[in-house]
Amino acid sequence: MISKGRYAPSPTGPLHRGNLRTALIAWLQSRLTDGAFILRIEDLDQPRVRAGSDLQIMDDLRWLGLEWDEGPDQGGSSGPYYQSQRGSSYQQVMDRLQEQGLTYGCGCSRKEISKALSAPHANPGVYPGTCRNRAGTSNREGRVLAHRFRLSSQPIRVVDEILPPRRYHPSQEVGDFIVQRADGLFAYQLAVVVDDAQMGVTDVVRGADLAESTVRQLSLYQALGLSPPRFWHLPVMVDGEGRRLSKRDGSGSITSDRKEGISPEKVVGQLAASLGLVPAGSLLSAVELAEELTIRQLRSRLRQAG
């Protein structure tokens, strides 16, 4: 089967170098396997979306030399490529999960959850299952509840192209998670699985800050009888003080670097060197970087960098 990769930014601000590095490696992975590359805009959480950020992201990616075969301005057989336009797909899957009894309504407030979690033996950060046996999707006052996915108690093995394999007990270590909020918004965990599966994505390359989400997503793949993609979780880029870069505070925004006249070859060289793919100081285009490496070399150098 031909491979299919994707880059799936949230349009919440200008891309920083960490985002760009993930995009570069996702693109590289698909080019080195002669695969197709998708750009998907993850604009589900509308209140966090910044108008025009999608166009800026596309402009910055193209400036870096990255092209996609399917995407918002490109079309393709598995569109639409904006999550905000894919609600009917999410609803269908949600209905299926509901019919299988795999979701339940939850009316717990944050305060109630943290109170239950402060009990001895509670696993920190894990939803304590308060509403697990609740029937119906609204509370006594008729208020619609959030929907949680009922995790199985079976262990799950997570394999990664870069990170070491790990065994999880999702129901104890992760906890039933929200798939649809009370306001009707579908959660990232559900949307990303539906999209990657419907778009035929075979390789998910993203930051290791999402590695913990993988176990939730694998549980959904399993419940839906879908085969999951391969995961490549890349090291997260940090600033000089060891802090994670953030889109919201505009740290290391590529848009401002561009204004100062930096060349794309310099940025590609710096990003690739930061993962040990090329020597420091290299100046090269994304296409030249793809000519320098094989997929095996990419995998082994990323493992060393991780």
> Is 144 strand, coil or helix?
strand
Number of neighbouring beta carbons within 10 Å of residue 121: 4
Which residues are bridge partners to 253 per DSSP?
16
Residue number, 94 or 201, with CB nearest to ligand GLU: 201
Q: How far is the CB of 40 from ligand GLU (least distance, A)?
A: 8
Residue number, 9 or 71, with CB nearest to ligand GLU: 9
- Per-residue DSSP letters for 88-134? HHHHHHHHHHHHTT-EEEE---HHHHHHHHTSTTPPTTS---TTTT-
Q: Which stretch binds ligand GLU (CB under 6 A): 3-11, 65-73, 122-130, 176-184?
A: 3-11
Q: How far is the CB of 52 from ligand GLU (least distance, A)?
A: 17
Q: How far is the CB of 186 from ligand GLU (least distance, A)?
A: 13
Q: How far is the CB of 188 from ligand GLU (least distance, A)?
A: 7
Q: How far is the CB of 22 from ligand GLU (least distance, A)?
A: 8
Q: How far is the CB of 210 from ligand GLU (least distance, A)?
A: 5
Residue number, 10 or 180, with CB nearest to ligand GLU: 10
DSSP state letter for 153: S
Residue number, 128 or 206, with CB nearest to ligand GLU: 206
> Is 79 strand, coil or helix?
coil
Q: Which stretch binds ligand GLU (CB under 6 A): 6-14, 49-57, 94-102, 168-176?
A: 6-14
Report the residue from 3, 4, 5, 10 that binds ligand GLU according to the rule CB under 6 A: 10
φ and ψ of 213, to 5 deg: -70, -20
Residue number, 27 or 104, with CB nearest to ligand GLU: 27
Contact between 282 and 272 under an 8 Å Cβ cutoff? The reply is yes
Residue number, 9 or 269, with CB nearest to ligand GLU: 9
Report the residue from 3, 4, 5, 8 that binds ligand GLU according to the rule CB under 6 A: 8
Cα 45 to Cα 14, 41, 137: the distances in Å are 16, 11, 22
Q: How far apart are CA 91 and CA 97, in angstroms?
A: 10
Report the residue from 21, 36, 37, 42 that binds ligand GLU according to the rule CB under 6 A: 42
Alpha helices, DSSP H, located in the chain: 17-32, 53-64, 87-99, 110-117, 170-173, 188-198, 211-223, 254-259, 264-273, 286-292, 295-305
Q: How far is the CB of 31 from ligand GLU (least distance, A)?
A: 18
Contact between 106 and 147 under an 8 Å Cβ cutoff? The reply is yes
By CB under 6 A, what part of segment 199-228 binds ligand GLU?
Answer: 206, 210
Cα 265 to Cα 126, 235, 282: the distances in Å are 44, 22, 8
Q: How far is the CB of 8 from ligand GLU (least distance, A)?
A: 4
Report the residue from 23, 49, 151, 192 that binds ligand GLU according to the rule CB under 6 A: 192
Query: Which residues contact ligand GLU (rule: CB under 6 A)?
Result: 8-10, 42, 192, 206, 210
